[in-house]
């Protein structure tokens, strides 16, 4: 029988600490096979508050928790700007091969040739896909790739004695990481408006470049934009900014629309980051780990974050090349210990291998096809700004004509009742009640049709039974949360008492 004390909240799954019974251990450990050395009692603690549970309790606990998640493996996950595509299972197996999983990061280079060969190959492939000169796999996530890119731009200008360039231009449709990155690197972000087609406002760009050209270090821009639109004047934007001595940074978060369609390096970009956990199918892991390699053209090549993999001795008829790690000549430095999130490099390598050149081109073709299909099917039901084909995602306004108090949030929460993860909501900030929808190429037409039906039904429900939306979700593990209470009371960890010690 489950006892529920008065005023105690109902729980979905107890905390691991609440399962604890003094004396239990969840793992079978060996005894010491060496003579024991006296422990330094004056340095030791006796207050280690960790739970005491059995192995089966741990398994059930985490399995029960897992059931409370929505995930790609369970259902459709059209979360815009995140590219929630299928994460192939073989990638996981490859990353767990003992030769990769048990390789020490400070192992001698001579004994790390397999890992180094893989990283070198991935550097080359990523450079080819985006048309860049060189790639560093060091950044641990997209945001770190952005940071690396902006630091490279900074040091490029400083090296030339060009010390007045303090401004990085950022369109108002940008991911929040862009302006945050600019500040972190010691620059000032200057926001650019968008025009009524969703592109950068060219007049505003020309004006700021005319007025402050010698202070502009560069511009960060996402292609396709966070509205899912391919900037129509991209060549002109690049030319204007570079014309006043600025460098161009491309946020590669939306690269899933571009593979084999256009190479950012050929458009004139100086640097971009890739999100291996978006475009190249490495899993999102409930919030990481990601991997955010950076690619650069000639100008920034000496500044790449390190280490990068290079060929120490070229291959001969009998021997493969000898690979080694190096810091580029004027490197901005190390971004993390060791050499990037190698496990993600392994997965991305397996992914690129599975598709090859034509397959990757098909990935982007179908990502764009799926997005445009959903867009076309919803255009009569919801207001979709910017009447043009989209890239791999599109934004619609999450409201229903004639119903005042239905918001993007209500539609999002109601989608959960249809077994679908909500799209990104309230981003980009420049679209009212934005819902950013990215189906990805790995979804079938039936899944897309199911989503389209759900969105149409929800629009109908908004008119006939709006309370269904206001109170949604109804079938998720929990209803809407009291987020104000969470921020006000700030319960950030449970503070278990020690069960058998005097505390």
Partner 1 sequence: MSYIPHTEVERQQMLAAIGVTTIEDLFEAVPASHRFPKLDLPPAMSEMEIAAEMQALAEANEHGGDFAMFRGAGAYHHFIPSVVNHILLRGEFYTAYTPYQPEVSQGTLQSVYEYQSMMCALTGMDAANASHYDGATSLAEAVTMALQVTRGKRDKIILSHAIHPQYREVVRTYHQGRDIRIVGDEGTANANALIDMIDDSTAMVAVGYPNFFGQIEDFSALADAVHAKGAVLVMVVNPMMLALYKSPGELGADIVVGEGQALGIPLSYGGPYLGFFATRTQYVRKIAGRIIGETVDMDGKRAYVMTLRPREQDIRREKASSNICTNQGLMALAASVYLALMGRNGLRKVAELNYHKAHYAADQIDRIDGYKVQRNLPFFNEFIVKCLKPVEEINTALLDEGIIGGYDLGQDYPHLKDHMLLAVTEVNTRSEIDTLVEVLKRLS
Please report, as residue ranges, which positions from 2 to 31 form the binding site for partner 1 (by CB under 8 A): 9-13, 15-17, 20, 23-27, 29-30
Residue 404 buriedness (CB in 10 A; 0-12 / 13-18 / 19+)? exposed
- What are the C-alpha distances in Å from 368 to residues 88, 187, 309, 372, 411? 20, 35, 34, 6, 24
- In this chain, which of 149, 228, 252, 290 binds partner 1, going by CB under 8 A? 290
Q: Which stretch binds partner 1 (CB under 8 A): 202-210, 244-252, 352-360, 396-404?
A: 352-360
Q: 104, 319, 387, 497: which one contacts partner 1 (CB under 8 A)? A: 104
Determine the Cα–Cα distance for residues 407 and 398; give it in Å rounded to an integer.
Answer: 6
| Contacts of partner 1 in 391-410 (CB under 8 A) | none
- DSSP H or E segment with residue 217: strand 216-222
Name the residue with tokens 């391919």. Answer: 230
In DSSP terms, 168 is beta-bridged to 189, 218
Q: Which of 202, 312, 322, 376 binds partner 1 (CB under 8 A)?
A: 376
To partner 1, the closest distance from the beta carbon of 402 in angstroms equals 26
Residue 41 within binding range of partner 1, rule CB under 8 A: no
Among the listed ranges 241-249, 430-438, 459-467, 478-486, the one in contact with partner 1 (CB under 8 A) is 478-486
Nearer to partner 1, 90 or 210 (CB): 90
Q: Is 385 in the site for partner 1 (CB under 8 A)?
A: no
* 53/406 with CB nearer partner 1: 53
Asked if 299 interacts with partner 1 (CB under 8 A), we say: no
**388 forms part of the interface with partner 1 (CB under 8 A):** yes
Residue 79: Cβ-neighbour burial (10 angstroms; 0-12, 13-18, 19+): buried
- Please report, as residue ranges, which positions from 62 to 81 form the binding site for partner 1 (by CB under 8 A): 62-63, 65-74, 77, 79
Q: Which stretch binds partner 1 (CB under 8 A): 223-231, 244-252, 397-405, 431-439?
A: 223-231
The backbone torsions φ and ψ at residue 161, rounded to the nearest 5 degrees and listed phi first, read 75, 15
Tell me how far apart the alpha carbons of residues 24 and 359 are, in angstroms, rounded to a whole number: 52
122 is a site residue for partner 1 (CB under 8 A):
no
Residue 360 binds partner 1, judged by CB under 8 A:
yes
The Cα 425–Cα 87 span in angstroms is 23
Q: Is 82 in the site for partner 1 (CB under 8 A)?
A: yes
Residue 438 engages partner 1 in binding (rule: CB under 8 A): no
Strands 294-296 and 271-274: antiparallel
372 binds partner 1 (CB under 8 A): yes
Looking up tokens 């073709």, which residue turns up? 365
- 196 interacts with partner 1 by CB under 8 A: no
Token digits of residue 14: 């107890």
**What tokens appear for 475 in the block?**
């079938």
Q: Report if residue 378 touches partner 1, rule: CB under 8 A.
A: no
Residue 418: how many CA atoms within 13 Å on its side-chain side? 25
Contact with partner 1 (CB under 8 A) among 99, 387, 402, 502 = 99
Question: Is 447 exposed, middle or buried (CB count within 10 Å of its CB: 0-12, 13-18, 19+)?
Answer: middle
Q: How far, in Å, are 76, 424, 455, 483 from residue 413 at the CA level?
A: 14, 11, 12, 15
Q: What character string, x for contact with partner 1 (CB under 8 A) and - otherwise, covers 300-339?
A: -----x--------------------------xxxxxxxx
Angle (deg, nearest 10), helices 177-184 and 142-159: 40
125 binds partner 1 (CB under 8 A): yes
Among 169, 348, 363, 406, binds partner 1 (CB under 8 A): 363
357 binds partner 1 (CB under 8 A): yes
Which of 412, 418, 433, 458 is close enough to bind partner 1 by CB under 8 A? 412
Structure tokens at 148: 């690396």
Token output for 353 = 């291998």
By C-alpha distance, which of 393, 450, 460, 403 is closest to 427?
A: 393
Residues numbered 243 to 272 that lie near partner 1 (CB under 8 A) are: 259-263, 266-267
Q: Which is nearer to partner 1, 71 or 468 (CB)?
A: 71
Binding of partner 1 by 493 (CB under 8 A) = yes
- Identify which range of 202-210, 239-247, 346-354, 454-462 contacts partner 1 by CB under 8 A: 346-354
* Nearer Cβ to partner 1 (18/463): 18
Answer for the pair 242, 224: CB distance below 8 angstroms, yes or no.
Answer: no
Q: Which of 76, 122, 146, 269 forms a contact with partner 1 (CB under 8 A)?
A: 146
Q: Determine contact, residues 241/209, Cβ cutoff 8 Å.
A: yes
Q: For partner 1, give the closer residue by CB, 114 or 243.
A: 114
- Report the residue from 239, 326, 486, 503 that binds partner 1 according to the rule CB under 8 A: 486
The yes or no reply on residue 496 touching partner 1 (CB under 8 A) is yes
Between 381 and 442, CB nearer to partner 1: 442
Helix ranges restricted to H, 168-281: 177-184, 202-212, 234-243, 264-267
Does position 230 interact with partner 1 (CB under 8 A)? The reply is yes
State the nearest-atom distance from the C-beta of 92 to partner 1, in Å: 6
Distance CA 391, CA 389 (A): 7
Nearer Cβ to partner 1 (32/464) = 32
Residue 417's CB is within 10 A of a number of other CB atoms, namely: 17
Cβ nearer to partner 1, comparing 210 with 261: 261
9-21: string of b/e by CB count within 10 Å (b at 16+)? Answer: eeeebeebbebbe
Q: Count Cβ atoms within 10 A of the Cβ of residue 232 and give its class: 0-12 exposed, 13-18 middle, 19 or more buried.
A: middle
């Amino acid at each position: 029988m489950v006892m529920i004390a008065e005023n105690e909240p109902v729980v979905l799954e107890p905390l691991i600490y609440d399962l604890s019974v003094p004396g239990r251990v969840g793992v079978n450990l060996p005894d010491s096979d060496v003579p024991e050395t006296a422990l330094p009692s004056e340095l030791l603690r006796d207050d280690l508050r960790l739970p005491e549970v059995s192995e089966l309790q741990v398994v059930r606990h985490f399995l029960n928790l897992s059931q409370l998640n929505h995930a790609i493996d369970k259902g459709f996950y059209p979360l815009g700007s995140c590219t929630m595509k299928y994460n192939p299972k073989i990638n996981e197996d490859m990353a767990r091969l003992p030769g990769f999983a048990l390789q020490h990061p400070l192992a001698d280079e001579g004994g790390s040739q397999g890992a180094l060969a893989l990283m070198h190959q991935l550097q080359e492939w990523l450079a080819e896909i985006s048309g860049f000169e060189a790639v560093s796999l060091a950044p641990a996530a997209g945001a770190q790739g952005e940071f690396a890119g902006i630091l490279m731009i900074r040091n490029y200008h400083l090296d030339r004695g060009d010390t007045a360039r303090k401004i990085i231009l950022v369109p108002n449709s940008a991911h929040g990481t862009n302006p945050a990155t600019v500040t972190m690197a010691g620059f000032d972000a200057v926001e650019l408006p968008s025009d009524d087609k969703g592109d950068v406002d060219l007049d505003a760009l020309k004006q700021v470049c005319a007025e402050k050209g010698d202070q502009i270090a560069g511009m960060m821009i996402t292609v396709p934009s966070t509205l899912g639109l391919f900037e129509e004047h991209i060549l002109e934007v690049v030319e204007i900014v570079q014309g006043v001595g600025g460098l161009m940074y491309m946020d590669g978060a939306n690269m899933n629309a571009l593979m084999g369609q256009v190479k950012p390096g050929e458009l004139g970009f100086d640097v971009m980051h890739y999100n291996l956990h978006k475009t190249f199918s490495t899993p999102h892991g409930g919030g990481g780990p990601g991997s955010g390699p950076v690619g650069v053209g000639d100008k920034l090549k000496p500044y790449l974050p390190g280490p990068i993999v290079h060929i120490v001795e070229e291959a001969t008829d009998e021997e493969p090349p000898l690979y080694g790690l190096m810091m580029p000549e004027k490197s901005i430095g190390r971004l993390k210990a060791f050499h990037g999130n190698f496990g993600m490099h392994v997965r991305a390598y397996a992914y690129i291998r599975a598709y090859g050149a034509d397959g990757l081109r098909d990935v982007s073709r179908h990502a764009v096809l799926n997005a445009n299909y959903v867009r076309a099917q919803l255009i009569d039901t919801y207001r979709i700004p910017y009447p043009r084909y989209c890239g791999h995602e599109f934004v619609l306004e999450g409201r229903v004509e004639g119903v005042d108090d239905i918001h993007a949030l209500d539609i999002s929460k109601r989608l959960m009742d249809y077994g679908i993860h909500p799209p990104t909501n309230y981003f980009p900030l420049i679209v009212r009640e934005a819902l950013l929808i990215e189906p990805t190429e790995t979804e079938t037409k039936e899944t897309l049709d199911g989503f389209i039906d759900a969105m149409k039904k929800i629009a109908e429900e908004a008119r006939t039974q709006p309370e269904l939306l206001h109170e949604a979700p109804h079938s998720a593990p929990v209803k809407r949360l009291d987020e104000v209470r969470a921020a006000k009371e700030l319960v950030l960890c449970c503070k278990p008492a020690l069960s058998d010690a005097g505390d």
